[in-house]
Amino acid sequence: MNANRWLSGVFALLAWGCTHARPPPPAEEPRVARSYETVNVAPGVYGFIAPEARVGLVSGNSVAVIGDAAVLVVDSGHFPGLTRRMIGDIRRLTDKPIRFLVNTHWHPDHHSGNGVYRELVPEVTILSTSYTRTQMEKQAGRFDSPESLTTAAVTVRERLASGKKRDGTPLTAEDRRYAQDVLEAIDDAIPEFRQVKPAPPDVGFEQRLVVDLGRRSVEVAFLGRGNTAGDAVVYVPDAKVLITGDLVVAPVPYAIGSFFGDWIQTMRKLEAMDAVAVVPGHGPVQRDKEYLRLVTSLLESVAAQTKAAVQQGLTLEETRAKVDLEDFRKRFAGDNQIRARAFKDAFVTPGVARGWREAKEGPLQDED
């Protein structure tokens, strides 16, 4: 999820119309721009798993796959400071050189660290689908603006100083706590984004390539559109590890700019793969395919409900009112109000719009 899209959500929330209660965060809750967890996914496969974001400014997971001769990394993260730390961790885990970096898709939270690899590992070859490479070049500089984040921070502080929402009603304790979370995320992100140096992929592929790391092969493939029009997945056959990018995101999926009809088919291909561990684009490592199946069921429900609404001649707003995803909200978010908000903002609101358009227009070509 890119920062400009996140900012639009922040400004909407600054109306302080949201009244969801949530428990205060733990005293030592990790901050997204400052931390990750290193997880031994399988022998020679390590995931650098970003913490769950409280306010939407996220970083994608990264994964290092170590062979006898070389290392392949999947995604470089959102924050250059953390990317530098990950490279140091990889070098402590192995003396094998980092030869390959795969970008699963074009969203900046998965490739803003590319420039750090160019600096510290100049021999690295960066790989992606051809579509992703084109989009990264086309979108360079559009997102993750420190100036936009600074503007957002000014707005938040003005609300706090006035003690009122945009509509003039008083801020609640929850509003103030959320505002402080926003300011914390912005303060962490601004110095990081000032370090970003775009570094597009060297190689673009169309369907599939195999990378030899020395007694370990890694398959990189485009299985179909889904979260974007150029999602790559990475599979380590000997370890049965599948790395999905944002085709799979936990604890709630993202649907901004997605392609529902194709995404369902792509998810079925993922489910059919012989994997005992799945590393999503965001969220914890999955040790079975239960979560993948849940995401597929959600996509199918949205596609079916929006198709029925279009057949009834309903407008988008009428469709939004009619589509019922409450059971899925409970399954994804439970009683966690942060996740419930993310489910609505990152999946339901954009997803219903995409599903409705697709039912009305046929296969979409844009990611707006």
* Cβ neighbour number for residue 301 with a 10 Å cutoff: 16
The DSSP line for 152-174 is HHHHHHHHHHHTB-TTSPBPPHH
This prediction has a pTM of 0.92
Q: What is the band of 21 on the pLDDT scale with cuts at 50, 70, 90?
A: very low
Q: Which residue has the higher pLDDT, 223 or 181?
A: 223
The DSSP line for 311-342 is HTT--HHHHHHH---HHHHHHHHTT-HHHHHH
Give the residue-averaged pLDDT of 119-136. 97
Give the residue-averaged pLDDT of 265-294. 98
Residue 16, phi then psi, degrees to nearest 5? 55, 35
Helix pair 3-13, 146-162: axis angle to 10 deg:
10
What is the distance between the alpha carbons of residues 149 and 189, in angstroms, rounded to a whole number?
Answer: 8
Per-residue pLDDT, 362: 96
Q: Tell me the residue range of the domain where 280 lies.
A: 3-15+23-141+197-298
Report whether pLDDT(27) > 50: no
The DSSP bridge pattern shows strands 208-212 and 37-42 to be unpaired
Is residue 326 a part of any domain in this protein? no
DSSP code at position 110:
G
Query: Helix, strand, or coil here: 140?
Result: coil
Amino acid at 164: K
Quote the number of domains for the chain: 1
Structure tokens of 348?
A: 């339901």
Report whether pLDDT(53) > 70: yes
Is residue 254 a part of any domain in this protein? yes
User: In terms of residues, how long is the chain?
Assistant: 368
Per-residue pLDDT, 142: 79
* Cβ neighbour number for residue 271 with a 10 Å cutoff: 15
Residue 227, phi then psi, degrees to nearest 5? -65, -35
Is residue 238 a part of any domain in this protein? yes
Contact between 141 and 112 under an 8 Å Cβ cutoff? The reply is no
What is the distance between the alpha carbons of residues 348 and 323, in angstroms, rounded to a whole number?
Answer: 9
* Cβ neighbour number for residue 70 with a 10 Å cutoff: 19
* CA-wise closest residue to 12 among 141, 156, 130: 156
What is the distance between the alpha carbons of residues 188 and 29, in angstroms, rounded to a whole number?
Answer: 14
Give the residue-averaged pLDDT of 147-162. 93
Is residue 331 a part of any domain in this protein? no
* CA-wise closest residue to 73 among 218, 176, 182: 218
* CA-wise closest residue to 265 among 128, 363, 134: 363
What is the distance between the alpha carbons of residues 340 and 5, in angstroms, rounded to a whole number?
Answer: 18
Is residue 324 a part of any domain in this protein? no
Is residue 85 a part of any domain in this protein? yes
Per-residue pLDDT, 20: 37
Is residue 123 a part of any domain in this protein? yes
Query: What's the burial of 205, exposed, middle or buried (CB within 10 Å: 0-12/13-18/19+)?
Result: middle
Is residue 273 a part of any domain in this protein? yes
Per-residue pLDDT, 26: 46
What is the distance between the alpha carbons of residues 306 and 311, in angstroms, rounded to a whole number?
Answer: 9
Report whether pLDDT(151) > 80: yes
The DSSP bridge pattern shows strands 217-221 and 208-212 to be antiparallel
- Supply the CATH number for residue 284's domain: 3.60.15.10
